Every structure is written in C-alpha cells, then in structure tokens.
Structure 1
Amino acid sequence: MTYESRARLRSLGISVGHYPVGMLNAITDVAGVSVGHVTCIEGDRTRTGATAILPHAGNLFQDKVPAALAVFNGFGKFAGSTQIAELGEVETPILLTNTLGVGRAIEAINRHTLAQAGNERVVSLNAVVGETNDARLNDIRAARPSVDEMLEALAAAKGGTVEEGAIGAGTGTVAFGLKGGIGTSSRVVPVAGTSCTVGVLVQSNYGGKLSVAGWPYEAEGHDKDGSIVMIVATDAPLCSRNLGRLAERCFGGLARTGAALSNGSGDYALAFSTAEDVRRTPERRKAIANYPVLSNDVVSPLFEAVIEASEEAIFNSMTMATTTHGYNAGTGKPSTIHAISLDALKRR
C-alpha cells in the first residue's frame, strides 16, 4: 500500500452544486447517524473490508425508520430489498461489503441485533446489506471480512468525521479504472419554512468516462462495468414513497460523473429518514398513527440537494483514496490501481 497525501474535492478548489454543505460535509451531519469501518489489509492479497451505517443509536428493530430502495441497474445483490419495498422501513443497521461477503454480513447484523436489550424474543430480522465486487484488488474468495470483523465495523460506528477513500468497504474498490472507495457529502436546504439536511455515503466501484464537475478527466483504460451503492440519510420527515423518489435522484449525481450505467453495473440507492416524528415505534405500530410528513409540493429542493451530495461523495471517494497494490482474483496476478491525480484536478 502507498499512503500519499490526499484531499477532499473542496480542498482542491472544486465545488459541486449551489446548496451549502453541512458542518462536516458528511452523512453524519444528519443528527444521530453513525458510521463505522473495518479494514482488512493482510499480506499481498487481502484488500477488503466493511462499512456500517446506523440511522440512530437506539434499537433499530424496535424503533424502525422509514426507508426506500431505488435500483437503476440491478446487476448485484442487495440483501433485505424485498422487505424494504414491501414495508417501507429499515429495522437493522446497514452493512456494505464485498460481493461474496453478503452472507457473512447478514450473520453479523443478526448477531448484533439479537444481542440488543429488548430483542430477546425476536425470531425474524431483515438485515440490510449492500455490496460491490472488489476482486480487482482483493482475494475475494478468501472469506474476508469475517463475521467477527464485520461486527467490529458495527461496534466502531460513531458520529463525527467519516473516514474516506480506501477504507472499510472501499478498501479494494475501483472506479473509472482508478482507485475508488468510500466517500460522503451533505447539503443543508430550506424546505417548507425549516432547514433540512441530506447526507450521502457511497461505495464507488463502477465504470464510465470520468467527468469532474464537467471537466473530462483522461485516464488510461476506462472501465465500463462495476457497481455503486449510495446510502442517503435525511432529517426531513418523509414517507417511504417520497424517500423512494429521493433515492432515485442519486442516479442524477451518478450520471454527472460520467457513469456508463452498463449492463454489468449494479446501481443501488437506499434512503431513510431519521426524523423522530416519522419513526415507527412499537406504540405507533399498534395503533392508527398520525405522521407529519412533507408534501410532494415542497420536496424538490431535497431532490436537487441529493443529486449534488451524491456527485460530490463519489469524487471524495476517489480524491481521498490512495494508490493500492493488491491481488486480482480473476487473473491470479498482482494488481495495482492508481489513485486519481490531485495535481491534474488542481490544474483543470
């Protein structure tokens, strides 16, 4: 591994969109959201990990949050998707990892959730897991991260600054033939007389012809296929239907980066609301509930904000990533994926 100095997009003098960013310019600007990573770097072949996103610090199974999943091209695995579509809620933490680690991630979420106080009689869970394939740099068949390592990511989840780049579920990912990774961004927008925050975290591992804020970045050997998972958090009181519409707008930000959106691409976006007024508590689930939600007529600023935050999160995943030496599990040979050139971006 190499560890050259890296920077976020805005530190390079490049801004995306016009809405102001949150204090941290991260998904954790949405109050209560926490993020944890486990990074597995071992020998010459292991370059992988997991990233956990928790909508709030309480018992998610008891106090569920409204949510929705959007799929642009479904060449991938997103565990828990059918129940999210059916019920419009998330009841566990969210884990991102590699393609062959989805089953282990489900087990880690099961262990984590069943161990929480108040869940002693729970016999069914809808674990939520997203994935991308990091076999370009990682021996993906080696069963890493393990269940215990994914539990470490869940335990490490915290608010505040989010580590980005070649870390967690982004340790071995590749975007546009360059080093991808974990990235995040946020926006603060006026909606219906109040201020709402939208935060996005991405696991970038996809292809196309890279365009940075409208400027074509020339890289050798552009990829076409690949995947991306985008997680959206907001404190806006949205119903699951409008959260689905919010999630769909992530693909606007994805397209702006030059994504190929190919047959072999898995493009997923999951959005949830942390607003306590729409939280699905045990009491509300047993009665006729009255949820104060934003109407269709006022949500457009949120849609625009999530486009901006998705685009910037992707760029942060790349500008914060470092050149990585690993193992290509498809060819059985050593592999090196170079990081995007910050000097080239500064000169644009």
Structure 2
Amino acid sequence: MAKPRLRDLGISMGRMRPGSMNTITDVSGVAVGQTSVISDTPHVVRSGVTAIVPVAGHAWDKPVFAAVHSFNGYGEVTGALWIEEAGLLECPILITATQSIGAAHEAATKHAIRTLGDDDLTMPVVAETYDGWLSEFAAFAVREDEVFTALDTASTGPVDEGNSGGGTGMICHNFKGGTGTASRLVPFDGRDYTIGAMVQANYGDRADLMLDGVPVGQALGSSEVPLCRTRGDQDGSIIIVIATDAPMLPVQLKRLARRATVGLARVGGYGHNGSGDIFLAFSTGNRIESGGTAPVGDLSMIPQRAIDPFFHAVGEAVEEAIWNALVGAETMTGRMGRVATAIPHEALVETVRRYRPDLVQPT
C-alpha cells in the first residue's frame, strides 16, 4: 500500500505545477534506490541508506555538472571538496546515518571497482544525518550489502518516503521524519524543464514547524502529540539534493543549491548551531564525456536573466519534499523503548483548514 503524501490529504502548496509523479525522478534519467534496516536483535536498529543516481544505468561513468552549499556545516558530505573544485558529480549520491558514512564510502568504492575495474579513480559522495535517538549507534548496521542493494535497485519510478532508506530512523520538528521528495515544472523556451528535490529530514524544533504560513507546530504541541526526547529540540540535520534537466553550469547550480534554504526556512528550519544543513544540486542538461579526449566541447546553459523561476521552483519543491517526509512517516519505536510519533493526518488537515481553508481541497 502506497504511503500517503501531502496532496493525498487534500493539501496543496505553491503556485507552480508539480511533475507527473511529484518526485525527484520526474527529472528524466534520475534514479533512486533505498535499503532500510530494521531489527531488534542483537541490536535495535532503525537505519538505512538512500542512493540517488543522476543518470540511470550509469552510476559511475556519466558525470554531470554539480555544486554543493553548506547552510550550516555540522555534518559531513564526502567528495564535496571535489564538487567544489571541479563542478562535477561523477558518482551516485548516498545518504545514510552518521555512523555508517565510512562503510557506505567503502561500499561505494567497491561498487565502482566492480563496475569500472580498479584502474579508475572514484571519489564517492556520501552524506549523513544522525539516527541515534531511535537506532543503536554502535550497531553499524549499514554495510556493503545494503549499499549495493540501494545502488543496484535504483529506479526512475515512484520514491518511497517517510521511514525509508537513510531516513528510516530520522526525526523532523519533533515528529517522525525521514525521506521526502517533490518536483516542479518550469516553462522556458517552448518546453517544460523539471526541478526535483529529495530530502533526508532530521532537524527542527516543534514550535517552528510551518505549512505555507500555518503554525502547525504550535497548534500541535506536546499536549496534542508527544515530543521526541532528542538531545535538544533544535539539534539535527537535513540533506537536500536538487536535480534538474535544465542545462546549467556549476556556478548556476551553486545558486540553485543556495535556494534550498528558502524551502527549508518556509517549513521552519533556521540552521541551528548543531545542525548539518548541506545541499547538493546537479544538472543532467549537458552531456559530459567521462575521460573524453576531445579538445573542445559544446555546452548549453539557461540564461541568467531566465533563472528566477528555477529559484522559485527549488523553494517550492524543497518545502513540499519536507512535508512529504513528515506525512509519509509512521510512528516508530526504537531503542530503549523510545517512540517517535508521526504527525496525525486528521489533526494536520484541521489545523490547516482553520488557518488557511484555501489550501485544503476535498479528497
């Protein structure tokens, strides 16, 4: 049974049209694979890994232009320095738990060797957020098999949300959080380009949670829904990945990545000191040959004068992706009997209807 999404509750946001699936995989060729690890013995584990492959079927041999932006840097993304230096993403993006970043990096390297042989150098990109409130940190549950499965099963179809992949054990605004995605269409020059966003949401204070201006977190406080006893209500992280089929150069993708901040802020993310808020953006709109020998190549780019709607699309897609993570999540019990409660759908709809009836449509 498919998990509900924000629009399934009759709530829509933003002015721009979503893609056909309203996922990052609306960007042609982008594939997503996920592996969740849920067990109670010998360790209580609520963890996993998510793989985003920019060019389906070519995880390691089809580079794309890319950029990275750190809104607040209490986190890690391996390979980020090379993205900054070269403006290239030459591999999949893996998102997992903090304690699994080393194992995922090693597994990604082995997967690249299996695919390319051991003569090609690869610089895996692995991002993380902390799932240790629900999952035993010392279990190191994500290993080579889990990473290989996520990479090998990546598809261009619908994306599982909530308690899925790297988002399995995550908490967002003191509700159960996790994985979410959304997309927007940008008309330009006689065609629609797509902006897709994917998040691993594990951040935020309950009181700050907003939905298109509606103070949901204040309305659904601890007396209505129990809080998760995190290290501090404001601690946590979010990884945001932006994909587009619009032809953009690395400097433009840097600007795109920065605009993820807009969507995060609209939901109630402030980039607190203990939060790792790191954003990556890539474009499939130029064909870049891996190890090509041609002395000169032709590139395309969206004119700078036309880039504003793409900025707007990023903000809308990120905002909805975070909400899809929240709506798709399910209440989860983890280590020490701790419970991360999912946001109650009926109460959410009633809260939005009370403040903004124009956002709620009959389902």
TM-score (norm 1): 0.93
1:127-158: CA deviations, max 9, x gaps?
00111000011012111111221111111111
In 2 relative to 1, CA 285–126 (structure 1 residues): closer, same or farther, beyond 3 Å?
A: farther
2:246 maps to a residue whose letter is: A
* 1:334 alignment counterpart: 337
Matched, 1:225 2:224: no
Matched, 1:155 2:155: no
* 2:94 alignment counterpart: 95
Q: Secondary structure at the match of 2:91?
A: coil
- How many Å apart are 1:192 and its aligned residue? 3.6
For 2:309, which of 286, 301, 307 is the aligned residue?
301
2:27 maps to a residue whose letter is: V
Matched, 1:129 2:126: yes
In 2 relative to 1, CA 121–42 (structure 1 residues): closer, same or farther, beyond 3 Å?
A: closer
1:3-33: CA deviations, max 9, x gaps?
9x95211111211211000000000000111
* 1:166 alignment counterpart: 163
Aligned mates of 2:151, 2:291 — CA distance in 1: 27
- How many Å apart are 1:227 and its aligned residue? 0.2
2:70 maps to a residue whose letter is: V
Q: Is there any run of 5+ residues in structure 2 with no aligned partner, and where?
A: 352-363
1:144 maps to a residue whose letter is: A
Q: Secondary structure at the match of 1:245?
A: helix
Higher strand content, 1 or 2: 1
Q: Secondary structure at the match of 1:261?
A: coil
Aligned mates of 1:298, 1:273 — CA distance in 2: 16
Matched, 1:110 2:109: yes
2:251 maps to a residue whose letter is: R
TM-score (norm 2): 0.89
Structure 2 counterparts to residues 142-291 of structure 1, below 5 A? 142-208=139-205, 209-217=208-216, 218-220=220-222, 221=227, 223-275=233-285, 278-282=286-290, 284=292, 286-291=294-299
Aligned mates of 2:294, 2:60 — CA distance in 1: 15
Paired residues of 2:56 and 2:156 also in contact (CA < 8 A): no
Aligned mates of 1:274, 1:148 — CA distance in 2: 28
Aligned mates of 2:171, 2:7 — CA distance in 1: 22
Aligned mates of 2:301, 2:118 — CA distance in 1: 32
Deviates more, 1:44-53 or 1:18-27: 44-53
Aligned mates of 1:124, 1:282 — CA distance in 2: 12
* 2:55 alignment counterpart: 56
* 1:40 alignment counterpart: 37
1:337 maps to a residue whose letter is: A
Paired residues of 1:46 and 1:138 also in contact (CA < 8 A): yes
* 2:67 alignment counterpart: 68
Aligned mates of 1:69, 1:178 — CA distance in 2: 28
Q: Is there any run of 5+ residues in structure 1 with no aligned partner, and where?
A: 328-332
Paired residues of 1:98 and 1:140 also in contact (CA < 8 A): no
Q: Secondary structure at the match of 1:262?
A: coil
C-alpha RMSD of matched pairs (Å): 1.6
Aligned mates of 2:92, 2:288 — CA distance in 1: 15
Paired residues of 2:197 and 2:314 also in contact (CA < 8 A): yes
Aligned mates of 1:122, 1:91 — CA distance in 2: 15
- How many Å apart are 1:286 and its aligned residue? 4.0
Paired residues of 2:75 and 2:237 also in contact (CA < 8 A): yes
Aligned mates of 2:211, 2:61 — CA distance in 1: 42
Deviates more, 1:54-63 or 1:243-252: 54-63
In 2 relative to 1, CA 52–282 (structure 1 residues): closer, same or farther, beyond 3 Å?
A: closer
Aligned mates of 1:166, 1:267 — CA distance in 2: 20
| Identical positions, percent | 41
Paired residues of 2:55 and 2:62 also in contact (CA < 8 A): no
Aligned mates of 2:191, 2:124 — CA distance in 1: 33
Paired residues of 2:60 and 2:92 also in contact (CA < 8 A): no
- How many Å apart are 1:260 and its aligned residue? 3.2
Paired residues of 1:233 and 1:273 also in contact (CA < 8 A): yes
Paired residues of 1:15 and 1:213 also in contact (CA < 8 A): no
* 1:330 alignment counterpart: none
- How many Å apart are 1:123 and its aligned residue? 4.2
1:281-311: CA deviations, max 9, x gaps?
0475642222011121111111100100000
Aligned mates of 1:323, 1:140 — CA distance in 2: 20
Aligned mates of 2:88, 2:59 — CA distance in 1: 10
Aligned mates of 1:81, 1:287 — CA distance in 2: 27
Paired residues of 2:254 and 2:281 also in contact (CA < 8 A): yes
Aligned mates of 1:57, 1:186 — CA distance in 2: 18
Paired residues of 2:3 and 2:161 also in contact (CA < 8 A): no
1:161 maps to a residue whose letter is: P
